[in-house]
Amino acid sequence: MTHEMIQQKLFALYDGPLTEQERKLVESHLAQCAECRRAIAQGKAVSARLFPVHTFSEAAEDAFVAKVMGRVRSAGEKVESWTTLFFRWMVPLAGSAVVAGWVFFSVLSDSSSFSSTSSSNVEAAFSSDSSYSSGSGNGIVLASYSSQDIVP
Amino acid sequence: MLQNHTDAEEAAQDIFVKAYRNLPKFKGNSAFSTWLYRITTNHCLDVLRKRNRRKTYSLDALVEEEGDSIHRLFSSDAVAASQMENRDLAGKILSTLPEDYRMILTLREADGLEYQEIAQTLDCSLDAVKGRLSRARRQLQENLRHFLREKDVYKEE
């Protein structure tokens, strides 16, 4: 293995992922090569200065955890408030819209058949409705129909 | 990675909150730590990209501004500065490197990840990790060559 090839593997030796054979080769080269020993020494010095092992006090760790948990909780509350809002308003609104839609379209479909029938048929159809007056106009008939026969 | 302690702590909070919100998306295809590191690297890159429009250090500017402090940092017989000062100075020195070099050095040196874990975190091959790490170290040592006096370096041994 040449000097250049060893240099490529110098830090692999330092980091650990060399095969046993490679490690022996690099180590025997290091014993004879001042330049490579300097490179390793410089690397270690840089690493020790720029990446020291950080230690945090227990109080600092607790404070950090408290801050993160505070943010997680407030994020949770925001989500919850939207959820609450959804169930409190959107579900009843959606339910009402469905009922209103059903009433509306039922009335429309029935009123179209209603318009095609003669008034006598209408009177016959509503003869069971005690509130219906034969003298009423179509509007009154519709009102009576929708309020008493459709809505439970 | 983010140069100073305050930014790093704020980013750490953001990352944990982000991880909490995205927990349902974690499918267990990788180790949980790898997933968390991936969120971390992406978040840090986002922060750096936003900040790059703000302030970066060229090597010359840093040496002019902080040359004495860097000498002290690498001088074995000098009185050690506070941990916080050294941390911020280390961040400035690393900021003279390209983002991807800074990232891979941090994952290896500060977080102690194995090559395979780095490859998974950065979503690249093992050979790419070895190559990039080697180039990053060479450039860092080159940037600091005037500060690495032999007598101090060999005291590390």
Residue A143 C-alpha, separation from nearest chain B C-alpha, in angstroms: 53
Higher pLDDT, A77 or B124: B124
Helical spans, DSSP H, in chain B = 5-21, 32-52, 59-74, 83-94, 99-105, 115-122, 126-143, 150-155
Higher pLDDT, A135 or B50: B50
Residue A83 C-alpha, separation from nearest chain B C-alpha, in angstroms: 16
Encoded tokens for A14: 């330092």
Helix (H, G, I), strand (E, B) or coil at A51: coil
**How confident is the model at residue A128, as a pLDDT?**
47
**C-alpha closest to that of A40 among A53, A21, A22, A27:** A27
In single-letter form, the type of residue at position B142 comes to E
**How confident is the model at residue B46, as a pLDDT?**
87
pTM of the model: 0.61
A68 touches chain B (CB under 8 A): yes
- CB distance B152–A45 less than 8 Å? yes
Of the pLDDT bands very low, low, confident and very high (cuts 50, 70, 90), residue B105 is very high
| Nearest chain B residue (CA) to A17 | B115
**How confident is the model at residue B151, as a pLDDT?**
61
Q: How many residues can be counted in chain A?
A: 152
Higher pLDDT, B47 or B3: B47
Residue B28 C-alpha, separation from nearest chain A C-alpha, in angstroms: 22
> How do the pLDDT tens digits run along chain A, 152 residues long?
677 777 777 777 777 777 888 888 888 888 888 888 888 888 888 888 888 776 677 888 888 888 888 888 887 655 555 556 566 666 666 677 777 777 666 665 655 554 444 445 444 444 444 444 444 444 444 444 444 444 44
| Cβ contact A13:B116 at 8 Å | no
**How confident is the model at residue A125, as a pLDDT?**
46
A34-50 and B59-74 helices cross at what angle (nearest 10)?
90
**How confident is the model at residue A92, as a pLDDT?**
66
**How confident is the model at residue A62, as a pLDDT?**
85
